[in-house]
Amino acid sequence: MSGIRTKNRRHEPRKRPIQARSRATVEVVLEAAAQVFERAGYHETTTDDIAARAGVSIGTLYQYYPNKDALLVGLFERHLAEIEQSFAGLVDQLDAGVPPRVATEATVAHLYGLHRAAPNLHRIFVEDAPLPARLLADYAALEGRLREAWERYLTTRVAEPALVARMILSVVETLAHRHTLYPPPDFDIDTFERATTDMLLAYVQAG
Amino acid sequence: MSGIRTKNRRHEPRKRPIQARSRATVEVVLEAAAQVFERAGYHETTTDDIAARAGVSIGTLYQYYPNKDALLVGLFERHLAEIEQSFAGLVDQLDAGVPPRVATEATVAHLYGLHRAAPNLHRIFVEDAPLPARLLADYAALEGRLREAWERYLTTRVAEPALVARMILSVVETLAHRHTLYPPPDFDIDTFERATTDMLLAYVQAG
Amino acid sequence: MSGIRTKNRRHEPRKRPIQARSRATVEVVLEAAAQVFERAGYHETTTDDIAARAGVSIGTLYQYYPNKDALLVGLFERHLAEIEQSFAGLVDQLDAGVPPRVATEATVAHLYGLHRAAPNLHRIFVEDAPLPARLLADYAALEGRLREAWERYLTTRVAEPALVARMILSVVETLAHRHTLYPPPDFDIDTFERATTDMLLAYVQAG
Amino acid sequence: MSGIRTKNRRHEPRKRPIQARSRATVEVVLEAAAQVFERAGYHETTTDDIAARAGVSIGTLYQYYPNKDALLVGLFERHLAEIEQSFAGLVDQLDAGVPPRVATEATVAHLYGLHRAAPNLHRIFVEDAPLPARLLADYAALEGRLREAWERYLTTRVAEPALVARMILSVVETLAHRHTLYPPPDFDIDTFERATTDMLLAYVQAG
DNA sequence: GATGAATGAGTATTCATTCAT
DNA sequence: GATGAATGAATACTCATTCAT
């Protein structure tokens, strides 16, 4: 992902919060960041905005996150933790050998759902991302597991399973991104979800 | 496109260049902007950077472009002018009733080509865009013409031509964007172009 | 007052100082602004100059005053608060029916005193003033109260009390301004104060 | 006048225009400067504005005036030349021993007239003035001649002719300035002219 | 731990002035 | 002589980050 310069920075939370109170503060700050980033974009958001939204002082914010990037990193890590589980569920379905329509529908529903929750934040991860390589690699690994599951699933079904698997994931992610972020006027998102499923199914079955 | 706030600003070139020398300067500045934006991103780029790259003083830059946004606008207008022609060519092919494989291949080749030239700049147009509504509308109109051509083309071939046309354009644009911007390690772009064509063809023929 | 364009800007202090330390800072900054404006004029003064003079960083200055104008506004408000009291004292004297010589002397002494403290700053208020209408109105109201007191005072003494009252205030203000700002070489200010009193007294008694 | 820093600069027209055409250009530029300064103020006016208003290129403007200040200087010189004559007329009247009412009226009418023509420009001369000492001295000399005439005139009429003469000139100039620039709502300028005359007459006659 | 006051490098933009054509 | 393109020092203002209380 990303591309373009990535300054070398500390991204780790500065101190691992120990007490319950401070763990709560970390949570509040992170949620505030999520909301303000989502609403205003990464560059447009100031750390003061986030602190204000969180109802803490700017000093407290920096107590837990050494810089602005670290907030995004924290958010991305939270995101990663969230998708880890549901990705695993998908992998299981594929490995269980559900019919293609089910496999496709599940994958599409899953990724559209992921984007619907916070489309702008998602965009920020992908586009504005001052994310450290390690995290991008983590994400790639996660996605890779799903891709490999699809590859296994497709081995007996299409001629070029690796390529088709990659296409499927690219398409779903990319369309989910676009359709949630810029919903066209003439169809609603559910229709697009269905259409995406249809298209992929045709692709797989033509395979 | 876009999303998130858009300040209201003047974007028109400030001064119509009269002498030949200044027309050249405008060109040089715009090209420098394209290169620096492409390399470093919009926010990260300084107007000083652009002036330096263009080999002119910062004052000269502002003589022709009243602010940073205006440079991006200038670039987008140039882009618009470029694609207008080639889009028209595509529309003609579709209306001439070429076979589906040709129609699909042409569309895919066309949009991948568009992105290959300056993928980051493209991303900036789509994501960072402080572009005035008028220009976005211009672009939408252009894209709309192609989509309608596809819709006409599909009327006799699929059940929901409007939806399928929109899907095709979404997919091609979106994959071209992603694949040129973040080329995965295991396949090259040509392979993706072919795969994209295959997928769409299957979709249309399943129609 | 004023004349010539007045941009529409926020002038309110940006942040209400909470801690004692910051209240002191605000004071220091304002006083620095007074001194530098007085010495160098409004346009010639740089916000950096003021910050340097105040011994704070430029960021601190902007923490409390959102822009350069706001500093002048702050100064003017301070000025307004100062004169409010003494104007009231004058009004009381007039309403108490002191003899004309006393009334005149008090008015003259008062306004000369006002200008002597910071003649250039005064000029800036009057001439360079990017002051919001509200404040100018506040000042006009204050001056108006004094003028009306004079008008009441003159009702039984001259034929055109409103006109004469206005003339008196115009003259005193205007001469105080000029004589403190550009003291002529051949007489000192006290002499001018006396002469101003004499002149007005003659005017009133001729009335 | 003036006060506050005065940068040391060339103020002379850069080349004495010889040919008729260029003399016309100088005239046009100067008139343009007068109009734009009057309308927008000195600081707010750019040399480009003046060139545009004059209908010449910026290069041409600088051919005749080496910098922005020089334009103001040119304007002031023109002003000086204009008042020289009329001041002389006043001096003659005073020396001819016209009655006090006539002397006063003439002086008042004269100076109000001077300001009425271009009150803002006048203000600029007095307040924004980056005028070289020499010119200020020239003006002082001119004013001095009138003041001395008044002093002579008053020798037999008042106790302190020098002081009274200076007061008269201060008052007239200063009130003319204020009343033309900020005419109060309740009386018109003619009324103020009359009132000014009345006041001075009372002052002289109280002697 | 928390607060919020202080910091200052960084950036877009202006405009008087110069100089090649 | 005239033009207008080019110059670049100067300046207001922001915002991520630090640190005294």
pLDDT mean over D19-38: 88
CB A192 within 8 A of CB B164: no
Domain annotation covers residue A3: no
Determine the Cα angle at C82 with ends D185 and C40, to 5°: 85
Residue D127 has pLDDT above 90, yes or no: no
Q: What's the domain count of chain D?
A: 1
CB C168 within 8 A of CB C205: no
CA dist D1 and C127 (Å) reads: 14
What percentage of chain D has pLDDT greater than the value 90? 76
Domain annotation covers residue D160: yes
The confidence score (pLDDT) of residue D11 equals: 64
CA dist D92 and D86 (Å) reads: 10
State the average pLDDT for chain D: 89
- Lowest-confidence range among A66-70, A151-155, B144-148, C124-128? C124-128
Residue C5 has pLDDT above 50, yes or no: no
Residue C148 has pLDDT above 70, yes or no: yes
Flag whether residue B3 sits within 8 Å of chain A, measured between CB atoms.
yes
Confidence tier at D190 by pLDDT (50, 70, 90): very high
The confidence score (pLDDT) of residue D18 equals: 54
Residue by residue, DSSP assigns C77-138 as HHHHHHHHHHHHHHHHHHHTT--HHHHHHHHHHHHHHHHHH-HHHHHIIIII----HHHHHH
How far off is chain A from B16, nearest CA to CA, in Å?
32
Confidence tier at C127 by pLDDT (50, 70, 90): confident
Which residues of C fall within a CB distance of 8 Å from D167? Answer: 192, 195-196, 199
The confidence score (pLDDT) of residue D155 equals: 97
The confidence score (pLDDT) of residue A20 equals: 61
Q: Which of D37, D68, D166 to mutate to test the interface with C (most CBs of C within 10 A)?
A: D166
- Asked whether the beta carbons of residue B3 and residue A181 sit closer than 8 angstroms, the reply is yes
Confidence tier at B7 by pLDDT (50, 70, 90): very low
pTM passes above 0.75: yes
CA dist A164 and B202 (Å) reads: 13
How far off is chain C from D137, nearest CA to CA, in Å?
13
CB A156 within 8 A of CB A184: no
Domain annotation covers residue D1: no
Confidence tier at D3 by pLDDT (50, 70, 90): very low
Confidence tier at D16 by pLDDT (50, 70, 90): low
CATH number for the domain harbouring residue D59? 1.10.357.10
pLDDT in tens, B152-165: 999 999 999 999 99
pLDDT mean over C151-158: 97
pLDDT in tens, B95-109: 999 999 999 999 999
- In the DSSP assignment, the letter for residue D54 is H
Q: What is the Cα gyration radius of chain B?
A: 19
Residue whose token pair is 């409010």: C84
Domain annotation covers residue A108: yes
Q: How far is CA B191 from the centre of its chain?
A: 22
CB A162 within 8 A of CB B170: no
Domain annotation covers residue C1: no
Three-state secondary-structure class, residue A56: coil
pLDDT mean over C81-108: 94
CA dist B169 and A195 (Å) reads: 13
Other CB atoms within a 10 A radius of the CB of residue C92 amount to 11
Question: What is the spatial distance, in angstroms and rounded to an integer, between the CA atom of C71 and the C1' atom of E12?
Answer: 23
* Residue B38: C-alpha distances to residues A3, B25, B34, B119, D13 (Å): 11, 20, 6, 7, 49
Domain annotation covers residue A129: yes
The confidence score (pLDDT) of residue A128 equals: 79
CA closest to C1' of F15 belongs to A46
CB A203 within 8 A of CB B207: no
Flag whether residue C1 sits within 8 Å of chain D, measured between CB atoms.
yes
Question: What is the spatial distance, in angstroms and rounded to an integer, between the CA atom of C94 and the C1' atom of E3?
Answer: 53
The confidence score (pLDDT) of residue A18 equals: 53
What percentage of chain D has pLDDT greater than the value 70? 90
Domain annotation covers residue D88: yes
Interface of D with C in 34-53 (CB under 8 A): 40-41, 43-44
Q: Work out the burial of residue D206: count CB atoms within 10 Å of its CB; fewer than 13 is exposed, 13-18 middle, 19 or more buried.
A: middle
pLDDT mean over B60-78: 94
Flag whether residue B169 sits within 8 Å of chain A, measured between CB atoms.
no
How far off is chain A from B33, nearest CA to CA, in Å?
16
Chain E nucleotides near the protein (CB, 7 A): 1-21
**Touch between chain B and chain A (3+ CB pairs, < 8 Å)?**
yes
The confidence score (pLDDT) of residue B6 equals: 42
How far off is chain A from B148, nearest CA to CA, in Å?
13
CA dist B96 and B99 (Å) reads: 9
Tokens of D188: 């018109």
pLDDT in tens, B22-48: 789 999 999 999 999 999 999 999 999
Residue by residue, DSSP assigns C162-205 as HHHHHHHHHHHHHHHHHHHHS--SSS-HHHHHHHHHHHHHHHHH
The confidence score (pLDDT) of residue C85 equals: 85
Across C175-189, C190-204, D79-93, which has the greatest mean pLDDT?
C190-204
The confidence score (pLDDT) of residue D1 equals: 39
The confidence score (pLDDT) of residue B20 equals: 65
CA dist A69 and C109 (Å) reads: 62
**H helix intervals, chain A:** 20-40, 47-54, 58-64, 68-95, 100-117, 119-123, 133-155, 161-181, 189-206
Closest residue, chain A, to B201 (C-alpha): A203
Sign (positive/negative) of CA torsion B158, B163, B169, B173? negative
Domain that holds residue B99: 9-206
Q: Angle formed by the axes of helices C100-117 and C189-206, to 10°? A: 140
pLDDT mean over C38-65: 95
Residue B147 has pLDDT above 90, yes or no: yes
Question: What is the spatial distance, in angstroms and rounded to an integer, between the CA atom of D61 and the C1' atom of F1?
Answer: 12
Domain annotation covers residue A175: yes
pLDDT in tens, D140-177: 999 999 999 999 999 999 999 999 999 999 999 999 99
What are the residue ranges in chain A where pLDDT is below 50? 1-7
Out of D127, D178, D205, the one facing C170 most closely (by C-beta) is D178
pLDDT in tens, A59-111: 999 999 999 999 999 999 999 998 998 899 999 999 999 999 999 999 999 99
The confidence score (pLDDT) of residue C138 equals: 94
Taking 3-state DSSP, the helix, strand and coil percentages for chain D, each rounded to the nearest 5, stand at 75, 0, 25
Residue D120 has pLDDT above 80, yes or no: yes
The confidence score (pLDDT) of residue D9 equals: 55
pLDDT mean over B168-190: 93
Other CB atoms within a 10 A radius of the CB of residue A92 amount to 11
CA dist B81 and D149 (Å) reads: 76
Confidence tier at C50 by pLDDT (50, 70, 90): very high
